[in-house]
Amino acid sequence: MNPDPGQKQIIPEDLVKDPYILEFLGLGVPESYSENDLEKAIVNKLQHFLLELGKGFAFVGRQYSIKTDTKLFYIDLVFYNYFLKCFVLVDLKISELTHQDIGQMDMYVRMFESLKKIPGDNPTIGIILCSEKDSTIVKYSVLEENQHLFASRYRLILPTEAELSVEIEKEKQSFFLTTENSQINL
C-alpha cells in the first residue's frame, strides 16, 4: 500500500481508532438522540469528524445508496482513504453492538467490493461506530478474523483521568500479551 520501501507500510489497524471522541458534536446522553441525529451532527461538523478519523480521509457521501437486483440499502457514511487507497464505510449505532450490526456491515462491505470498488483499490473497510461493544460478541463474530471489519466505540465526552488510566493499562496488557505470544511463536 505504501510504495516507498523506506517508510512503514500503513495497514487499516493503524488508522482505525477505538474509541473515537465525538465531544465536539454536542449531543447529550444516548437516550436523547437517534442514529439519524448522530449522523446529522457528524455531517454538520464534518471537518471536526474528519480530523477525529485521522489522516487521509475524504468524504464521499451520507446515506450512500447501494442497490442489488432486488433491494436498495443505505450506508450511513462513506469515505475514501487515499493512504490506504480504499473505501471506508461507517455504520452508526447509538446502542451496544449486536451480531446483526456486524452481519449488516459485512454485507455492506461485500456489496461495495462487488459493485463499487474499481481496479487499483484495496479492500473496503467497514467500521461500526457504537456506544458500547461486548468483547464476547466481537470474539465470536467475523470481526475476530476479518482484517477489514472493525467495531469502535465512540464517546461524546472526554474520558476522566481514571478512565484514561484504565484504558492505558488495558493497552499495556494487550501489548505485553502480543509481545509474549510473538516470542513464544519464535
Q: Are residues 34 and 54 in the same domain?
A: yes
**DSSP structure string for the chain:** ----TTSPPP-HHHH--SSEE-GGG----GGG--HHHHHHHHHHTHHHHHHHH-TTEEEEEEEEEEE-SS-EEEEEEEEEETTTTEEEEEEE-SSB--HHHHHHHHHHHHHHHHHT--TTPPPPEEEEEESB--HHHHHTSTTTT-TTEEEEEEESSPPPHHHHHHHHHHHHHHHHHHHHHHHHT-
Domain that holds residue 102: 12-155
Looking at residue 53, its pLDDT comes to: 85
Looking at residue 119, its pLDDT comes to: 92
Q: Are residues 121 and 37 in the same domain?
A: yes
Q: Are residues 149 and 164 in the same domain?
A: no
1 located within any domain: no
117 located within any domain: yes
Q: Are residues 76 and 92 in the same domain?
A: yes
Structural domain count of the chain: 2
Looking at residue 46, its pLDDT comes to: 82
6 located within any domain: no
Q: Are residues 175 and 148 in the same domain?
A: no
Q: Are residues 182 and 121 in the same domain?
A: no
32 located within any domain: yes
4 located within any domain: no
d(CA 112, CA 89): 9
Q: Are residues 139 and 182 in the same domain?
A: no
**Grid coordinates standing for 145?**
478474523
Looking at residue 145, its pLDDT comes to: 67
Q: Are residues 62 and 100 in the same domain?
A: yes
5 located within any domain: no
Q: Are residues 140 and 178 in the same domain?
A: no
2 located within any domain: no
Write the CA distances from 182 to 172, 185, 186, integer angstroms: 15, 5, 7
3 located within any domain: no
Q: Are residues 112 and 183 in the same domain?
A: no
Q: Are residues 130 and 179 in the same domain?
A: no
Is 0.95 surpassed by the pTM of this model? no
Query: How would you write the pLDDT of the chain (186 residues) with one tens digit per residue?
Result: 445 556 677 777 777 777 777 877 777 766 677 888 888 888 888 888 888 888 899 999 999 999 988 999 999 999 999 999 999 999 999 888 888 999 999 999 999 999 999 999 999 999 998 888 887 787 777 766 667 888 777 777 766 788 778 878 877 776 665 555 545 444
